[in-house]
Structure 1
Amino acid sequence: MPTPAEPIRLNKRMAELGLCSRREADFWIEQGWVKVNGQVAAMGVKVTPADRVEVDRQAQGHQAQQVTILLHKPVGYVSGQAEDGHAPAVSLINPRTHWREDPSHQRFSPPQLRGLAPAGRLDIDSVGLLVLTQDGRVARQLIGEDSGVEKEYLVRVSCIHEGAERTADVQAVFPREQLARLRHGLSLDGQRLKPARVDWQNPEQLRFVLTEGKKRQIRRMCEQVGLKVVGLKRIRIGRVMLGNLPQGQWRYLGPQERF
């Protein structure tokens, strides 16, 4: 006989079901918008997979108002909280920097900044696509423990091997076996990295496709094989492309777009 599942907190169960984030679940429970087996749920209640969880339409309406924003982050901005005198990327979200060609036709309003947080990071000296969202489902999809969403980068490199610093044709002098190591064979912080797709785009630029995002991962990977990153740009997250979005500007994730 199978052993019965251990009860878990309702907010965790709701996140597992993909209904919302744990933080959203707590807010919904506080509002009385969640029922378990037909009864209004109390904060902190525990449930099993056999319990029936229902969410009120008011919660669904609240969720529908949440926005996800795509920003082309410039150099000099940090992804999260302000640090060392550098401004956070969210400070770029205002009506003046909203891309005029945003196909969503959605209008900016100040409440959209409430709880808006980056779903993933992009280093201060990197540029490209950064996602900021109020929606816990989006955050979980992009940075949850089980996330496998691809992220694509264009990476300009130079050689740091002695005698190779001055060449512009890095591809010509870079050993093939080291390229193989970039794809599958490196570890960071004592952990083996997941396989990556790494190919030359031109003699001084590599294309990386990763399904994980350790701190300064690409820069540290390159250092291990004798390369120095001199420019890094994220151009895709899942199925969403940076496209023609100008640097320093942002647009809304459209209703038909999915990561």
Structure 2
Amino acid sequence: MSEPVRLSRRVAELAACSRADAEAYIEGGWVRVDGKVVESPQHMVAGETVELDPEAVLEQPEPATIVFHKPVGIDAISGRTEAVGLVTPDTRWAEDPSGVRLLQRHFVRLTPLVPLDRDASGLMVLTQDGRVWRRLTEDADQIEHEYVVEVAGEIAPYGLHRLNNGGLRYQGRELAPCKVSWQNEIRLRFAIKAVRPGQLQDMCAQVGLDVVAIRRLRVGKIPLTKMPVGQWRYVPVSARF
């Protein structure tokens, strides 16, 4: 049996390339050891079969941004059951149209953004990309979110007008106008900026309605689409919120 060596050295010999290029191939998920993708250049190999994908390209992997369909009862940012724990290779949406290659490194240091109530479901965003982090934190109040809110009860006179035109208050601040319409007899559709946890429930209560369920459909320009609950997809690097 040959002496163990770093995978990067074996790939450099196999591909007749520099050690730096070998590391780039490995980190890009292009190298298999006994049929399994290994992304660590420091991985030690001896007699294992090492293969470089014939379609391998030399490029640094882009940081991942992921859209997840959060179920009810799961914490978006922090808590007992955090959503990031449900984002695994096995829960990727089979119909993900992004074309992004799945890498194990995409599940390391994923930061959840844009809060969503524990009792709500729908779109949430997790990212490794500092550009996305800055956009969704520093510009958060300028980004429109879209929700469907299922309600019960009878809306107060001029209630829809009040929801749309501002003047309601939440946590001591006057709320700006937003766009609210009936989707059907029991569901309101909100397009709203600078929404805070618990705000939609409070707004509905101020016009005589009880909230039964909330689902977020969109953050900025990124929609939830028909992705099932508990699954996720990549957001291409070229996409903008």
TM-score, normalised by the number of residues in structure 1: 0.66
Question: Secondary structure at 1:104's aligned position in 2?
Answer: coil
Question: Which residue of the partner structure matches residue 188 of structure 1?
Answer: 170
Partners of 1:144 and 1:234 lie apart in 2 by 21
Partners of 2:181 and 2:193 lie apart in 1 by 16
Offset of residue 194 of structure 1? 1.9
Equivalent in 143, 147, 152 of residue 149 of structure 1: 143
Equivalent in 220, 223, 243 of residue 225 of structure 2: 243
Offset of residue 238 of structure 1? 1.2
- Structure 2: runs of 5+ lacking an equivalent: 1-58
Partners of 1:176 and 1:258 lie apart in 2 by 39
Contact 1:94 1:108 in 2 (8 A): no
Offset of residue 115 of structure 1? 2.3
Contact 1:196 1:211 in 2 (8 A): yes
State yes or no: 1:89 paired with 2:71: no
Question: Secondary structure at 1:202's aligned position in 2?
Answer: coil
Offset of residue 65 of structure 1? 2.0
Contact 1:141 1:147 in 2 (8 A): no
Partners of 1:176 and 1:239 lie apart in 2 by 33
Offset of residue 146 of structure 1? 6.1
Paired residues, number: 182
Question: Secondary structure at 2:205's aligned position in 1?
Answer: helix
Amino acid at match of 1:182: L
Equivalent in 71, 74, 77 of residue 71 of structure 2: 74
Question: Secondary structure at 2:94's aligned position in 1?
Answer: coil
Partners of 2:220 and 2:203 lie apart in 1 by 22
Offset of residue 145 of structure 1? 5.1
Offset of residue 223 of structure 1? 1.4
- Structure 1: runs of 5+ lacking an equivalent: 1-60, 160-172
Offset of residue 114 of structure 1? 2.6
Partners of 1:134 and 1:92 lie apart in 2 by 16
Partners of 1:115 and 1:187 lie apart in 2 by 37
Question: Which residue of the partner structure matches residue 200 of structure 1?
Answer: 182
Amino acid at match of 1:175: A
Question: Secondary structure at 2:190's aligned position in 1?
Answer: strand
Contact 1:103 1:254 in 2 (8 A): no
Equivalent in 113, 123, 134 of residue 140 of structure 1: 134
Partners of 2:71 and 2:150 lie apart in 1 by 16
Instruction: Tell me the alpha carbon deviations over residues 120-149 of structure 1, each in whole angstroms, 9 at most, x when there is no partner.
Output: 111111111101111222122223256411
Question: Which residue of the partner structure matches residue 101 of structure 1?
Answer: 95
Partners of 2:160 and 2:148 lie apart in 1 by 15
- Of 137-146 and 241-250, more deviation after overlay is shown by 137-146
Offset of residue 197 of structure 1? 0.5
Amino acid at match of 2:161: A
State yes or no: 1:256 paired with 2:238: yes
Contact 1:197 1:209 in 2 (8 A): yes
Partners of 2:157 and 2:134 lie apart in 1 by 36
Runs of 4+ in structure 1 off by over 6 angstroms are none
Contact 1:68 1:134 in 2 (8 A): yes
Instruction: Tell me the alpha carbon deviations over residues 21-45 of structure 1, each in whole angstroms, 9 at most, x when there is no partner.
Output: xxxxxxxxxxxxxxxxxxxxxxxxx
Q: Percent identity?
A: 42
Offset of residue 182 of structure 1? 1.3
Amino acid at match of 1:75: V
Amino acid at match of 2:121: V
Question: Which residue of the partner structure matches residue 174 of structure 1?
Answer: 155
Question: Secondary structure at 1:80's aligned position in 2?
Answer: coil
